[in-house]
C-alpha cells in the first residue's frame, strides 16, 4: 500500500518551471501537418461528443424538463408548466423538506464524525506502529464494496429478530427489539453509520497519502520550537495538507448529495430515509411517472452540487489559468 500519488508522478516532472507550455505555444501548432490536424480533431472530437451527448445534454434537458409537465410517454405530450413543479415540491410534496433535512444530516454526520474518524485513523497509523499495514487493510476494506452491498451487509447486522446487533444488545426476539433499518425514527442514523464504515476508510487513505507528502523538516522545526504533538499537528501538519483537505471537503459534500444506493437498497428512500437523490428516482420510475417533478428535484440537487463543484474547479484550475 506504499505507493502514493507522489510515486506515480514520473521523474521528469521534477524539472522546474514546466517550460513545456511556453515552448509549444506558437511553435508546435504551426508545425502540425494536415493529417495531424485530422487526427487531433478526432482525438478531441469523439470523447467531447460522447461527454456532451451523455452528460451535459441530459443535464440541460433536466433543467428544461423541470419547467414542463410530462408523463414520459409521448414526446408530443410535453406541456410547458412554468414554475409549477417547483411550487409543488416546496409546498405540497411532503417528502421534500424531510429529504433536504436528511441530506443535511448526512453531510453533518460525514463531516463531523466520519471524516474526523478517518483523519484520526490516518494520524495514528502514519506512525510506524506494529501492525499498521494490517490495520490499514482492515479499515480500507469497506471502500472496495459498493454502497448497495453495504446496505445488504448491514441489513444482516441490523435485522430485528436475527441481527447481530440486537443479540449483542440482548433484545433479539423480545418486543423491545429495534428494527434498525425499518423504524423511521432511527433508520437514518443506522444508515449513516453504515455509510461511515466506508467513508472513514476512504478519508484515512487520502490522509495517509497526504501525511506522507508533508515535509518532515516542518515537524522537526515545530518540535525544536517546543511544540507538543497536538500543536505540531493542528498548527503545522494539518495546514500543510491543504490540497488534500480541499479534496476531502469536496468528496464529503458530494458523497452526502449522492447518498442514494444505501437508502434505495434499504427501502427505496421512504419511511424515514427520504433523500433528494432517491426522490428524483421515485418520480421517474414506477407507474405514475411525473418527469417534471422528478426533474425539478434533480435541478435542486444540481444547484446544490454546483457549490462544491465550482469551489473545487476554481481551486484546481484557477492556478493553471493564472500560470
Q: Residue 33 carries which DSSP code? A: -
**Three cell numbers, residue 241:** 495538507
Instruction: Decide: is 322 part of the binding site for another protein (CB under 8 A).
Output: no
Pick from 67, 167, 171, 270 the residue near another protein by CB under 8 A.
Answer: 167
* Residue of 16, 30, 35, 76 that binds another protein (CB under 8 A): 35
Rg of the Cα atoms in the chain: 25
Per-residue binding string, another protein, 133-162, x by CB under 8 A, is xxxxxxxxxxxxxxxxx--xxxxxx-x--x
28 binds another protein (CB under 8 A): yes
The answer to the question of residue 265 lying near another protein (CB under 8 A) is yes
State which of residues 82, 116, 239, 243 lies at the interface with another protein (CB under 8 A): 243
Q: Are the beta carbons of 275 and 269 closer than 8 angstroms? A: yes
Rule CB under 8 A: say whether 71 interacts with another protein: no
Q: Which three cell numbers stand for residue 38?
A: 485530422
Which CA distances in Å does 289 have to 113, 262, 282, 285?
A: 37, 23, 9, 6
Residues 270 to 299 in contact with another protein, rule: CB under 8 A: 276-277, 280-281, 284-285, 291, 294-295, 298-299
Q: Which stretch binds another protein (CB under 8 A): 59-67, 86-94, 105-113, 179-187?
A: 59-67
Q: Which of 96, 106, 202, 238 forms a contact with another protein (CB under 8 A)? A: 202
Asked if residues 66 and 292 have their Cβ atoms less than 8 Å apart, the reply is: yes
**Contact stretch for another protein (CB under 8 A) within 85-93, 104-112, 174-182, 224-232:** 224-232
Residue with cell 474526523: 116
Question: What minimum distance in Å lies between the beta carbon of 24 and another protein?
Answer: 4
Please report whether residue 233 would count as binding another protein according to CB under 8 A: no
**How many residues interact with another protein (rule CB under 8 A)?**
137
Strand intervals (E) in the chain: 68-69, 79-80
- Out of 88, 93, 233, 312, name the contact with another protein by CB under 8 A: 312
- Which is it for the CA torsion 304, 47, 145, 120, positive or negative? negative
- Considering the complex, what minimum distance in angstroms separates the CB of residue 175 from another protein? 18
Query: What phi, psi does 310 have (nearest 5°)?
Result: -65, -40
* Nearer to another protein (CB atom), residue 188 or residue 291: 291
Shortest approach of another protein to residue 97 CB, angstroms? 18
The cell numbers describing 286, all together, are 414506477
Dist. CA 109–CA 103, nearest whole Å = 10
Q: Is residue 190 part of the contact set for another protein (CB under 8 A)?
A: no
Cβ proximity to another protein: between 110 and 257 the closer is 257
> Which parts of 102-121 interact with another protein (CB under 8 A)?
121
Which is nearest to 61 in space by CA: 312, 70, 44?
A: 70
Cβ nearer to another protein, comparing 142 with 272: 142
Q: Cα–Cα distance between 189 and 1 in angstroms, integer?
A: 32
CA pair distance 310, 323, nearest whole angstrom: 19
Nine-digit cell at 52?
456532451
Among 40, 108, 169, 307, binds another protein (CB under 8 A): 40
Handedness of CA 163, 169, 175, 177 (dihedral sign): negative
By CB under 8 A, tell whether 24 contacts another protein: yes
Q: Which three cell numbers stand for residue 317?
A: 484550475
Residue 237 touches another protein, criterion: CB under 8 A: no
Amino acid at each position: 500500500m506504499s505507493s502514493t500519488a507522489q510515486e506515480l508522478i514520473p521523474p521528469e516532472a521534477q524539472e522546474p518551471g514546466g517550460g513545456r507550455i511556453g515552448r509549444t505555444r506558437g511553435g508546435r501548432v504551426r508545425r502540425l501537418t494536415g493529417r495531424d490536424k485530422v487526427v487531433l480533431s478526432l482525438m478531441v472530437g469523439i470523447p467531447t461528443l460522447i461527454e456532451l451527448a451523455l452528460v451535459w445534454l441530459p443535464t440541460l434537458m433536466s433543467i428544461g424538463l423541470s419547467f414542463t409537465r410530462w408523463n414520459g410517454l409521448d414526446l408530443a405530450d410535453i406541456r410547458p408548466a412554468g414554475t409549477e413543479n417547483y411550487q409543488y415540491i416546496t409546498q405540497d410534496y411532503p417528502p421534500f423538506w424531510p429529504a433536504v433535512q436528511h441530506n443535511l444530516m448526512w453531510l453533518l454526520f460525514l463531516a463531523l464524525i466520519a471524516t474526523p474518524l478517518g483523519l484520526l485513523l490516518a494520524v495514528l497509523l502514519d506512525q510506524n506502529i506494529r501492525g499498521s499495514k494490517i490495520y490499514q487493510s482492515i479499515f480500507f476494506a469497506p471502500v472496495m464494496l459498493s454502497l448497495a452491498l453495504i446496505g445488504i451487509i448491514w441489513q444482516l447486522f441490523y435485522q430485528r429478530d436475527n441481527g447481530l446487533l440486537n443479540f449483542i444488545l440482548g433484545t433479539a426476539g423480545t418486543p423491545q427489539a429495534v428494527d434498525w433499518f425499518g423504524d423511521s425514527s432511527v433508520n437514518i442514523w443506522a444508515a449513516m453509520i453504515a455509510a461511515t464504515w466506508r467513508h472513514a476508510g476512504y478519508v484515512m487513505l487520502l490522509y495517509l497519502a497526504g501525511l506522507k507528502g508533508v515535509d518532515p523538516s516542518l515537524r522537526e522545526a515545530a518540535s525544536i520550537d517546543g511544540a507538543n504533538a497536538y500543536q505540531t499537528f493542528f498548527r503545522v501538519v494539518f495546514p500543510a495538507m491543504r490540497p488534500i483537505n480541499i479534496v476531502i471537503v469536496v468528496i464529503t459534500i458530494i458523497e452526502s448529495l449522492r447518498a442514494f444506493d444505501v437508502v434505495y437498497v434499504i427501502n427505496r428512500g421512504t419511511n424515514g430515509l427520504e433523500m433528494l437523490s432517491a426522490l428524483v428516482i421515485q418520480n421517474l420510475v414506477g407507474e405514475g411517472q411525473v418527469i417534471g417533478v422528478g426533474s425539478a428535484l434533480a435541478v435542486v440537487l444540481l444547484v446544490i452540487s454546483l457549490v462544491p463543484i465550482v469551489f473545487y474547479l476554481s481551486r484546481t484550475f484557477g492556478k493553471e489559468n493564472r500560470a
